[in-house]
Amino acid sequence: MMTFSDAVLEAMVRRYRPNGRLSITPIASGKFNSSYWVQADDEPLVLRIAPPNDAVYVFYEAKMMRQEPSLHARLRAETTVPVPEIVAFDDAQTVVDRDYMLLRRLPGRPLSEMPHVNKAKVLRQVGECLAQVHGLTAVQHGYLGEHHPMQPQDNWAAAFVIMWHKLLDDVVAQGFYDAAESRYLRHLLERHLPLFDRPVTSRLLHMDVWAQNILVDDTGTLTGLLDWDRALWGDSEIEFAVLDYCGISEPPFWAGYGQPRDWSPAAQIRQRFYLLYELQKYIVIRNGRLHDPIAAQHYKQQALLLARQIPT
């Protein structure tokens, strides 16, 4: 996480809270953005600062904070999902060469820091919330936000093909797939593309629900669902694969979600592709952004092992 001087941090906040007492304290748990607790007089806020423009990104990560204001507004207007109010968003990059936002601080702490709470109770509430989230729909598919990482598509299969190839391009650019591996993975999707070419409602997908982004209080009541910058519009099955990877899709989650999961042979193959989509991003993140090629190589090995479980 980037460290900013006190003067720069104060200048960012003072742009929107020019008067009164101000205290700013780092939040150590941030993984992508740099985050800070802000106390502006009696107003508790959170300051989130995006990475620099020249950071190494997975294709959809560049400027992805820019889609959050409209997403938060719609979620707060059309659902009861506990999403923080964004009180200011600044993409002018005049105070600092980053996008940043100020959010109202929600009560509670990340589930990862609350081992004593009833996890089953929490997961049921997460399921109830994601059912509402998935009830928000769009006409087109893909990353539709203001960061514009791809051309929106009229169907999910076309959108996923673009996403798949863009992600593979990112891994190749990091030097972790050679030409043969790249061809193999591209052909693998082509071979199974008919399984994706089916009627799919374009639904809002969070795509980053894990213990760090789930806020709860001491009673196990869900108080916040955070970090919507990776949001995607499309097939809810890809969200389920991320939930599988993050240990969220347990029976209490599905009880809260209230709808059965398709676990047909075709859906199981799609799930492997969706897990691969989640897994391969870490090759780029670990090598390109965190400068940890050993970890990146580990993710590559995991990805290729999973890919070999898909019939060719």
**In this predicted structure, what is the pLDDT of residue 228?**
98
**In this predicted structure, what is the pLDDT of residue 113?**
95
- Percentage with pLDDT > 70 across the chain: 99
Q: Is the pLDDT of residue 176 over 90?
A: yes
In terms of pLDDT, which residue wins out, 53 or 62?
Answer: 62
**In this predicted structure, what is the pLDDT of residue 104?**
97
Q: Is the pLDDT of residue 3 over 90?
A: no
**In this predicted structure, what is the pLDDT of residue 189?**
98
Quote the Cα angle for 130-29-101, to 5°. Answer: 70
**Bridge partners of 27?**
35
Region 37-61 average pLDDT: 94
Confidence of residue 1 (pLDDT cuts 50, 70, 90): low
CATH superfamily of 6-104: Phosphorylase Kinase; domain 1 (3.30.200.20)
- For the segment 243-301, what is each residue's pLDDT rounded down to a tens digit? 999 999 999 999 999 999 999 999 999 999 999 999 999 999 999 999 999 999 999 99
Burial 102-125 (b: 16+ CB within 10 A, else e): bbebbebbbbeebeebebebbbbb
Region 12-18 average pLDDT: 96
Q: Is the pLDDT of residue 29 over 80?
A: no
Which residues, 6 or more positions from 82, have their beta carbon under 8 angstroms from its beta carbon?
A: 106, 129, 215, 222, 223, 224, 225
**In this predicted structure, what is the pLDDT of residue 2?**
65
- Give SS3 for 94: coil
Q: Is the pLDDT of residue 47 over 80?
A: yes
What is the sign of the dihedral through the CA atoms of 250, 251, 254 and 255? negative
110-307 placed in CATH 3.90.1200.10: yes
**In this predicted structure, what is the pLDDT of residue 28?**
84
- Composition of the chain by helix, strand, coil, percent to 5: 45, 15, 40
Complete DSSP assignment for 110-132:
EGGG-TTS-HHHHHHHHHHHHHH
- For the segment 129-158, what is each residue's pLDDT rounded down to a tens digit? 999 999 999 999 999 999 999 999 999 999
In this structure, the strands spanning 43-49 and 22-27 are unpaired
**In this predicted structure, what is the pLDDT of residue 262?**
96
* Residue linked to tokens 């193999």: 184
Per-residue tokens: 233: 């519009």
Lowest mean pLDDT among 30-34, 77-81, 83-87, 249-253: 30-34
Region 93-113 average pLDDT: 96
**In this predicted structure, what is the pLDDT of residue 187?**
98
What pTM was computed for the model?
Answer: 0.95
Q: Report, in angstroms and rounded to the nearest whole number, the Rg of the chain calculated over CA atoms.
A: 20
Per-residue tokens: 237: 């099955």
Per-domain residue ranges of the chain? 6-104, 110-307
